């Protein structure tokens, strides 16, 4: 609504009363935003959607990690995806349900859609969290800082500090020119804060949040604006560098791209660490596939 990107937004929830409450809340803010038709609907409304955002899943309140509740969330998405694809066989699905890397791969397989039509939020939020903390530490605008978190959206994620750049300068060179310290302990502290930020927010919010939080929807708008031109043109693989790590990482490759870019990151963080992170995702997929078979997956 604030960006004016969407002409119509439909909120779908098994609790219709809850969805209607969200709709009324958003409608009250319409005077401050662009005019957008917004209403509570059902899965039949997905038939004409340009993009369908999936946030369904079990509450993360009280959980120790994003991987808890894997089977329950998998059961929810398995049924949901089948119905969405029945209503819109050429839909574009954006997955935000945790554990998002596992769920993105599973949704891709369950949907039968081409890989470039099923996209996960991946480490997009983690990347923004890293950039914000680095920007605060060096006293610069986050808009002038570029750094990435790669791997799993979870405990095995990897902040690629050696590829970070401020105002176009590599972080190391920027610090040398201004005489700023490069303390590895500080980097480790930032990495830990970035990794734990999501769970801390869940603990601080009462009652526990179900689905995706407002901060994710902000990044979702950016995501759609970045990729909408591609989706409309159907021109080829998703290859926008700023969002490349939001695709599903699996077996140290990126599902949904024709050209694997992981080789670039291997030189930054070491192939062992990146492959270990991919191994965590493989393990999650293997656990999920026991009760919800995933075509083409072998543990």
Residues 226-270: tens digit of each pLDDT = 666 655 554 343 333 333 333 444 333 333 333 333 444 444 455
Mean pLDDT to the nearest integer, 109-134: 88
- Over its C-alpha atoms, the chain yields an Rg (Å, rounded) of 19
What is the fold of 8-122+208-241? Rossmann fold (3.40.50)
Evaluated on CA atoms 162, 165, 166, 168, the torsion sign reads positive
Of 297 and 126, the structure prediction assigns the larger pLDDT to 126
Most confident among 34-43, 81-90, 280-289 (mean pLDDT):
81-90
Q: Once rounded to an integer, what is the mean pLDDT over residues 120-127?
A: 85
Flag whether pLDDT at 170 surpasses 50.
Answer: yes
Locate 76 and state its tokens.
């929810």
**Secondary structure of residue 158 in the 3-state scheme:** strand
- For 158, the token pair is 């990897």
Q: Which residue has the tokens 């662009």?
A: 34
Please tell me which of 21-35, 70-84, 179-193 the model is most confident about, judged by mean pLDDT. Answer: 70-84
pLDDT at 213: 55
Domain ranges of the chain: 8-122+208-241
Q: What is the mean pLDDT of residues 267-285?
A: 75
Is there a contact between 242 and 226 (Cβ–Cβ < 8 Å)? Answer: yes
Nearest to 282 by CA among 76, 75, 106: 106
Q: Is the peptide bond before 99 cis (omega within 30 degrees of 0)?
A: yes
Question: What's the pLDDT band for 41 if we cut at 50, 70, 90?
Answer: very high
Average pLDDT over residues 204-233: 60
Work out the burial of residue 98: count CB atoms within 10 Å of its CB; fewer than 13 is exposed, 13-18 middle, 19 or more buried. Answer: buried
Q: Catalytic: which of 34, 78, 146, 153?
A: 153
Distance of alpha carbon 155 from alpha carbon 232, whole angstroms: 35
For residue 146, indicate whether it is catalytic.
no
Regarding predicted confidence, which is higher, 118 or 60? Answer: 118
């Amino acid at each position: 609504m604030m960006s004016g990107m969407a002409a119509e937004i439909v909120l779908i929830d098994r609790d219709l009363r809850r969805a209607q409450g969200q709709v009324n809340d958003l409608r009250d803010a319409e005077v401050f935003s662009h005019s957008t038709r917004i209403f509570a609907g059902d899965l039949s409304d997905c038939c004409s959607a340009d993009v369908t955002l999936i946030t369904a899943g079990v509450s993360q309140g009280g959980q120790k990690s994003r991987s808890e509740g894997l089977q329950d969330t998998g059961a929810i998405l398995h049924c949901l995806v089948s119905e969405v694809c029945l209503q819109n066989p050429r839909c574009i699905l954006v997955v935000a349900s945790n554990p998002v890397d596992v769920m993105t791969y599973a949704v891709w397989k369950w949907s039968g859609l081409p890989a470039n039509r099923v996209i996960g939020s991946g480490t997009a939020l983690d990347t923004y969290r890293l950039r914000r903390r680095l920007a605060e530490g060096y006293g610069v605008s986050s808009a002038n800082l570029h750094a990435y978190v790669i791997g799993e959206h979870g405990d095995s994620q990897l902040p690629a500090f050696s590829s970070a750049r401020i105002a176009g300068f590599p972080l190391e060179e920027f610090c040398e020119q201004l005489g700023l310290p490069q303390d590895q302990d500080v980097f480790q502290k930032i990495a830990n804060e970035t990794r734990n930020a999501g769970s801390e927010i869940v603990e601080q919010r009462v009652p526990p949040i179900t689905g995706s939080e407002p901060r994710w929807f902000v990044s979702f708008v950016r995501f759609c604006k970045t990729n909408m031109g591609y989706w409309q043109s159907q021109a080829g693989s998703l290859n926008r560098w700023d969002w490349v790590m939001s695709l599903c990482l699996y077996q140290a490759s990126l599902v949904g791209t024709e050209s694997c870019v992981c080789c670039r990151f291997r030189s930054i963080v070491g192939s062992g660490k990146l492959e270990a992170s991919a191994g965590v995702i493989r393990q999650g997929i293997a656990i999920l596939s026991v009760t919800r078979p995933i075509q083409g997956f072998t543990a």
